[in-house]
Copies of this chain bind each other. A is one copy, B any other.
Amino acid sequence: MPAASPQPRRPRSGSRRDETARLAVLHAADDLLAEHGFGALTVEAIARRAGVAKQTIYRWWPSKVEILLDTLIEDSDKHLPVPTEKPTAESIRGYLRGFERFLTSNPAGKVLLALIAEAQHDPDTAKSFHKRYLGPRREQEREMFARGTDAGEVSPRIGPDATIDALIGPIVYCALTGSSIPSGLVDTLVEDLLRPRSN
């Protein structure tokens, strides 16, 4: 899952990439972020913690941000899949609840917040973050809404992107400001935005 080589190259000879080292780096980065915050997340610390040489990290990842992106994508796909089959208002609400839990309770949620943050500081991070995470995920979410709309399950009052921003935005914002997501917020938004007003 190196950032630089979507399809891992197949050298005719020579050693293959050490999968143990790859996982050690990913977990070390994850753990350090969770334990000591992004400030302590230096490449040298990751290398130390992973029991890996610094050079091994630089060989495979252009920056620590790409390491975090790798872990985020793996964890995100695993713990927070976008519901694709028969999406109902209910399953969408479930997805948002899952997102809420992912951000507040899962260590991997911290990774997402850290990447949103780092994207503000560094244009390269922003670019890569969009290309590898935000873009693909938004695409899946758009599809989810499209299917739900086609099936008549939901009738969004505004465009799909606007709807997603309106639903996701408050959750992310609360997580970023460290405040708990007010109960009822998600339910109310789902109800208001996905169902046509009856009047």
Contacts and interface: CB of A to CB of B under 8 A. Distances in A.
A95 interface: no
A162 B159 CA distance: 23
Interface stretch (A4-12, A24-32, A166-174): A166-174
Contacts of A177: 116, 119, 130, 134
Count copies of this chain in the complex: 4
- Range, interface on chain A: 35 or more
Contacts of A122: 37-39
A178 interface: yes
A152 interface: no
Given A158-B182, A162-B182, A170-B166, A121 B114 contact: yes
A75 B75 CA distance: 40
Interface in A98-142: 113-114, 116-123, 126, 130, 134
Contacts of A159: 182, 184
Interface stretch (A44-52, A66-74, A76-84, A188-196): A188-196
A176 interface: yes
Contacts of A126: 178
What 3 A-B pairs are tightest by C-beta distance, nearest first?
A: A169-B170, A162-B182, A169-B173
